[in-house]
Amino acid sequence: MRVARVFPVFSAAFAAIYLAAMYNNLALFSYFPRGRQWFFLTVTDLPRSAGPGMYWYGWLATSFLGAAGIAALALIAPASWIARIARVASWVVPIAVILAVIYILRGWFLR
């Protein structure tokens, strides 16, 4: 069984999970750069003196773990079936996610 055959599944799943993670702020960990503090999961209720929180690293970690899990599950599915779906999903899903992200961020450009 070649692990590499589920790499395209990982890529499609990563993009979809990243969208969910950033939209719902599902970070595996949070970072507050002013005090160089790291917290497990999403932390938003620190006092103002803690400065702004950064969740991007946590979203990446959430997406990596989730996509790795889905890719591992894809290893037990029939290879030809997975190959046919992943061949399209690996690039169509990221394009759809990019369009969704642009839509989510539209507020920055409409102020």
Partner 1 sequence: MITTLLIIHALCAVFMLGALTHQTLSVWWPPRAGETSMVARFRAVRGASYTNTIIVLFIATASLGAILYPSYRLAVRVVLEDLRLSAANGVFELKEHLVAIGLGLLPAYWYYWKEPAAENRIAAKALTTLLALIVWYGFIIGHVLNNIRGFGS
Question: Can you give the binding site for partner 1, defined by CB under 8 A?
Answer: 4-5, 7-8, 10-12, 14-15, 18, 22, 31, 33-34, 51-52, 54, 56-57, 59-60, 63, 67, 86-88, 90-91, 94-95, 97-98, 101-102, 105, 107-109, 111
Q: Could you tell me the smallest distance in angstroms from the CB atom of residue 45 to partner 1?
A: 19
Tell me the helices (H) and strands (E) count for the chain, helix number first.
Answer: 4, 2
HSE on the CB side for 55, CA within 13 Å?
16
Of residues 77 and 102, the one with the C-beta less far from partner 1? 102
Please give the structure tokens belonging to residue 2. 């070649």
Secondary structure, 3-state, 20-69: HHHHHCCCCEEEECCCCEEEECCCCCCCHHHCCCECHHHHHHHHHHHHHH
Q: Could you tell me the smallest distance in angstroms from the CB atom of residue 72 to partner 1?
A: 13
Q: What angle do CA 83, 86, 92 make, to 5 degrees?
A: 150
Of residues 46 and 60, the one with the C-beta less far from partner 1? 60
Q: Could you tell me the smallest distance in angstroms from the CB atom of residue 34 to partner 1?
A: 6
Q: Could you tell me the smallest distance in angstroms from the CB atom of residue 89 to partner 1?
A: 9
